[in-house]
Amino acid sequence: MRCLFLLTCAFLGLDAAGAPTLRVELPPEVSSPASDARVVVFLISESSGLDEKTEPIDGPFWSSEQPLFSAPAEAGAIEVGDSWAFYPGKWSSLSPGTYRAQAALIARHADSQWRRVAGNFYSDAATLTVLPDKPTSLTLKLSHATKNEERPAGEGVSWFSTPSKILSAFRGQPVQLRAGVVFPVGYDPTKKYPVIYRVPGFGGNDRAAAQVARERSNAEGDALELARACFVIVLDPEGPNGHTLFADSANNGPCQRALVEELIPALEKAFPLDARPESRMLFGHSSGGWATLWLALTRPDVFGATWSLSPDPVDFRRFQNVDIYKDANFYEDTAAPSREHVSFRSFDPRTGETHDVMTIRREARQEDVLGPDNTSGQQWDSWFAAFGPRGADGKPAALLDPLTGVIDHSVAEKYRVFDIGAMVRSDPEKYLPLLRNNVRLAVGGSDNFFLNEAVELLRADVQKLEHPGRLQASDNIRIVPGYDHGTIFQSPEAKAIPGEMLKHIRDSTR
């Protein structure tokens, strides 16, 4: 999922003002922008509370609500106006004051982070002054081009890629499958090793292998023994719609098939990996936590065990804190009409108190400005792409109206195929043994994104379905009080993972 920014919200007033003239000048080499290319204008008010070094194009900001505008790209110069998509208010309703302004042309959609992909452009930041009844003007030139993210050389890590015929056929363009391969400490090329396949959370990719390699070089105790015992291979879950979750989906294509049928065989050919399912372990957090749980439950013939932390919603009766099957509105809490559904909350471990930071409406509306019709590649849109059907326009079908939040229940019903809680309830004889033997799942009791609520539903269902007297699968599903989405890594449950993995390796080699 999303990185954590724990500050207070600063909401802008939308008093009428003399709307300034702001033009965005596209680079000369972009003579005919792609049909889905968009120009996005990011503003930061001087009263935002954000650090002065923060660039406007780092937005949207969770901690501070700032104006955002977009429109389809046109060659030459384009002027911002009230016809542009906007959040929170139209261009003409900008409050008087001073802003830092920056613009981007997002034309290449191959990643959740547009700045990591070559072929996009952005301007320098400049000052925009809005004065009542006094026109001002500013031109932003898109003079900087983005570059493909490099994989840095580092000790103990190798960067691997292989072409995917499966995904290339689906997307109609060449697709590379990538992985960062972290070697065992004291690597012996004459022996075969077990492997931990690690799936990053939202926004992460295979480049995290460099950090894993640094951590392993300084490991102690069980972590050091584990570093000597196996490879870690960090997968790249990114695609045009953001995190693919390694699920075979209507919008992202057969991502799981590509992983299992192409990438893993290629890795096992290139490196001395033990190819038995019990020697292929999984680890992930957040979106990576959901992906690893999904892989463990749907492909036990390939993966023998998973350790999944703070997974994305595992029961869609709590899609964060929305029941997509019964609730009428994604934004409004029907149980308390005066209250909006919250997307992100802060947690103070000293007091145990939480503080609402951002609503679902605000986050989803900003995504809609970045990429209308569920194409932003950001968190909500990535879920719509992974879990939902494809619309008649070829884009992810809308689970909700982005302006009103009204849920389309005909679309929601099609999400059930990826609803892990529904899967377990429908076929407990298949899934309870896997949860009992192959899964270790933990989430903080005060998860910032309310992900504990879906895990609580899953655990309650498993408890009802279990047979008395057996080893209980629900014991492997843990809600840990006093921890949130990030601090779960500091919990006893997370710190026990290296030792549990070592035991799994020893048991599988007997």
Ordered DSSP codes for 409-442: HHHHGGGGGG-HHHHHHH-HHHHHHHHHHTEEEE
User: Is there a contact between 323 and 317 (Cβ–Cβ < 8 Å)?
Assistant: yes
Q: Evaluate the CA torsion angle 358, 361, 364, 368 in order and state its sign.
A: negative
Q: pLDDT band at 7, cuts 50/70/90?
A: very low
Strand partners, 443: 479
User: Mean pLDDT, to the nearest integer, of 412-416?
Assistant: 98
Backbone angles phi, psi at 63, to 5 degrees: -85, -15
Alpha-carbon gap, residue 366 to 334, rounded angstroms? 23
Query: E strands, 107-260, where?
Result: 121-122, 126-130, 137-141, 144-145, 157-163, 176-182, 195-199, 231-235, 238-239, 242-243, 248-249, 253-254
User: Mean pLDDT, to the nearest integer, of 332-361?
Assistant: 92
What pLDDT does 240 receive?
97
In terms of CATH architecture, what is 21-145? Sandwich (2.60)
pLDDT at 12 over 50: no
β-strands 121-122, 97-106: how paired? antiparallel
Q: What is the pLDDT of residues 368-381, one digit of tens each?
A: 999 999 999 999 99
Distance of CA 440 to the CA centre of its chain: 21
Q: What is the percentage of the chain residues whose pLDDT exceeds 90?
A: 87
pLDDT at 6 over 60: no
Q: pLDDT band at 17, cuts 50/70/90?
A: very low
Alpha-carbon gap, residue 244 to 239, rounded angstroms? 6
Query: E strands, 301-422, where?
Result: 305-309, 342-348, 353-359
Whether the model pTM is above 0.85: yes
Calculated CA dihedral for residues 287, 400, 416, 474, nearest 10 degrees? 50
C-alpha distances out from residue 478 to 8, 22, 418, 455, Å:
30, 52, 21, 8
Query: Which of the listed CATH numbers 2.60.40.10, 3.40.640.10, 3.30.870.10, 3.40.50.1820 matches domain 157-315+419-508?
Result: 3.40.50.1820
What pLDDT does 9 receive?
31
Q: What is the pLDDT of residues 105-125, one digit of tens each?
A: 999 999 999 999 999 999 999
* 220 Cβ contact partners less than 8 Å away, ≥ 6 residues apart: none
How many residues in total does the chain contain? 510
Alpha-carbon gap, residue 279 to 271, rounded angstroms? 14
Q: pLDDT band at 34, cuts 50/70/90?
A: confident
What pLDDT does 470 receive?
61
Q: What is the pLDDT of residues 253-310, one digit of tens each?
A: 999 999 999 999 999 999 999 999 999 999 999 999 999 999 999 999 999 999 999 9
More confident residue, 149 or 469: 149
- Domain boundary assignment for the chain: 21-145, 157-315+419-508, 317-418
User: Is there a contact between 431 and 424 (Cβ–Cβ < 8 Å)?
Assistant: yes
- DSSP letter at 262 equals I
Secondary element (H or E) of residue 241: none
Reading the block at residue 483, the tokens are 């921890």
Reading the block at residue 325, the tokens are 């099957």
